[in-house]
Amino acid sequence: MRWGNVGLRVDPTYRQRRFGAELRRLRERARLSSTEAAALLGMRQPQLSSVEAGKTGLSVERVQQLARAEGVSSQTFVQALIDLGQQSGKGWWSDYRAVLSSAHLDLAELEDGARSVVTYEPMFVPGILQTRDYAEVIHRAGYRPMGDEGRAAAVRFRVRRGGLVTGERPPSLHAVVHEAALCMSLGEPKVMRDQLLYLIELARLPHVTIQILPSDGPIPFGTGFVLLTPQVRELGTVVVSHIEKSLYLDDAEALSRYRDWFATLAGSALPAVDPDAAPSARGAKGSLGLLQRILYPLL
């Protein structure tokens, strides 16, 4: 490959940037400057900087060499890092590359590679659990203006994301949803009714756990987030919702902090929705009971 600006990615994906960031962490833990590491790998310093910025890849041999310099003992981690850099980045989401932002595509790619997804939503049903009608209402009445084509594509995209939950190799999914998110009819009572019924049906799946955080509980709304964990836990990512641009966090401290925060939320939420439990075992104060009370006026 020729170097300089030729052949470098102009707009790397999150996966590509993450691969570069992990290599930079390896280098820093090995106490190597970028110049020293480049010399070790038989590269020039600007080349390594481009790799760490996600603008280009790195050969398997050089990844392994850098891992040895850092003293990485887990071959599972090294192989996962190699896979991260070798992936094509292509999937069903690639069909939307021309019409949706990179944030949409990055999230779908992360979900596709996740073994575990945990999410907290204070104001909306989590996107991966939304019905088509609910997604249409959200996008029609959302704060971001969208043309008809973009809105239709965004709805189709969200429904495709939801197919991961019911597909052949779904991740484990644990969602904590604030009661407030389920009480808004959005001007469409039937849409909300069908959405709540769909949540109950999804809760029948063995890999899906849904809990409701009650409005009279000890925790305020907070900010929505999703924690996606692939086969190697250290390569997880937290996506924090924001009105302007979602925040992607992947350092060890942030991952630990959000895992602890989700554990607190789950511990404060009502017992999980379990439609198949005997009525006597459901308890009066459970997520299913609260869902049913919200549903009653909509039936």
Residue 148 and residue 200 share a domain: yes
Q: What is the pLDDT of residue 278?
A: 64
**What is the per-residue DSSP string for 52-105?**
HTTSS---HHHHHHHHHHHT---HHHHHHHHHHHH----SGGGGGTTTS-HHHH
Residue 32 within any structural domain of the chain? yes
Residue 263 and residue 192 share a domain: yes
pLDDT in tens, the chain (299 residues): 334 444 788 899 999 999 999 999 999 999 999 999 999 999 999 999 999 999 999 999 999 999 999 999 899 999 999 999 999 999 999 999 999 989 999 999 999 999 999 999 999 999 999 999 999 999 887 666 677 888 999 999 999 999 999 999 999 999 999 999 999 888 889 999 999 999 999 999 999 999 999 998 888 778 999 999 999 999 999 999 887 788 999 999 999 999 999 999 999 999 999 998 766 555 557 999 999 999 988 88
Residue 81 and residue 145 share a domain: no
Residue 291 and residue 217 share a domain: yes
Residue 224 and residue 196 share a domain: yes
Q: What is the pLDDT of residue 280?
A: 55
Domain end residue (candidates: 86, 120, 140):
86
Residue 75 and residue 108 share a domain: no
d(CA 266, CA 264): 6
Residue 174 and residue 34 share a domain: no
Q: Give the predicted TM-score (pTM) of the model.
A: 0.92
Neighbour-count burial of 145, counting CB atoms closer than 10 A to its CB (0-12 exposed, 13-18 middle, 19+ buried):
exposed
Residue 54 within any structural domain of the chain? yes
Question: What residue type is assigned to position 282 of the chain?
Answer: R
Residue 134 and residue 44 share a domain: no
What 3-state class would DSSP assign to 209?
Answer: strand
Q: What is the pLDDT of residue 241?
A: 85
Residue 31 within any structural domain of the chain? yes
Residue 249 and residue 106 share a domain: yes
Q: What is the CATH number of the domain that holds 225?
A: 3.30.870
Cβ neighbors of 123 (< 8 A, separation 6 or more) are 178, 180, 181, 184, 221, 224
Residue 38 within any structural domain of the chain? yes
- Domain range spanning residue 41? 14-86
Residue 1 within any structural domain of the chain? no
Residue 106 and residue 81 share a domain: no
d(CA 215, CA 48): 50
